[in-house]
Amino acid sequence: MHYFVSDIHLGSGDKGEQRRVERLFLDFLSKIEADAESLYLVGDIFDFWFEYKRVVPKGFVRVLGRLAELSDRGVKIVMLTGNHDMWVGDYLTEECGITIYTKPQTLTIAGKTLYVAHGDNMNIKGQPLLRAMNAIFRSKSLRWLASWLIHPNCFMRFGQWWSGKSRKSHSADYGPEVLDFLVDYALVYGQKHEIDYFVFGHLHYADDVKSAQRILFMGDWHSRPSYVVLDNNGEIELKHYN
């Protein structure tokens, strides 16, 4: 079985909420370990992650240890970065055995072709401000400069504030219309490429859109815990996790 999950946002909320979500995700990892061949972490697993050369964010040790254990057992673990955890280095790969991708991936799994992406920074040609912000945040030069000039305590505090502000912009009251821009992207992309399934996160709204393309969206784990599972016959399903 092949599992996909996104938007855990580990480290967000007060201490009680952080522990609740961490326990929930750890429980999920325990449930899938018996049959998991691969696990795809589709962005925003951490609410904020900025990796210095010799410094990584405090916390998440239970989750990181569990992921490392699964990797040691032979489970393939892949992480596609999101807009909250794009500043990764080599720590997660060296310590936890996680393969990192910073861009959307077209994958062949169980005989099916999947387009997997977090969903941020896509279909935003008409949003110049957002495009400029994405270019700044993804600049390797600026990231290197920040790591040399800004003390980790200061940068972590700023990053956590910014991440919280960004996360709160996802209202709990919205409906499936929030998915429209990624649905449009998938429909256009699918006309030019042979894709069986699209898998996205980012929008904190779980849905299985069945139109000209099969497009699956995963919700966030603070309010809408869900995941996608692909079996070895190539059948895919969106599931909710309570």
Top-confidence range, 42-56, 83-97, 216-230? 216-230
Percentage of the chain lying above the pLDDT 90 cut: 51
Task: Check whether 2 has a pLDDT greater than 80.
Answer: yes
Q: What is the mean pLDDT of residues 167-186?
A: 74
The pLDDT tens digits of the residues spanning 111-134 come to 999 999 998 876 566 566 655 556
The pLDDT tens digits of the residues spanning 90-103 come to 899 999 999 999 88
Query: How much is the pLDDT for 76?
Result: 97
Question: What domains can be seen in the chain, in order of their start residue?
Answer: 2-240 (3.60.21.10)
Query: Exposed, middle or buried: residue 27 (CB in 10 Å: 0-12, 13-18, 19+)?
Result: exposed
Find the angle CA(188)-CA(133)-CA(228) to the nearest 5 degrees.
50
State the pLDDT confidence band at 104, using cuts at 50, 70 and 90: very high
Report the length, in residues, of the chain.
242
Which of 161, 166, 155 is closest to 220 using CA atoms?
A: 166
Cα–Cα distance between 91 and 237 in angstroms, integer? 32
Query: How much is the pLDDT for 147?
Result: 63
State the pLDDT confidence band at 55, using cuts at 50, 70 and 90: confident
Query: How much is the pLDDT for 175?
Result: 72
pTM recorded for the entire structure: 0.87
Q: What is the mean pLDDT of residues 50-79?
A: 89
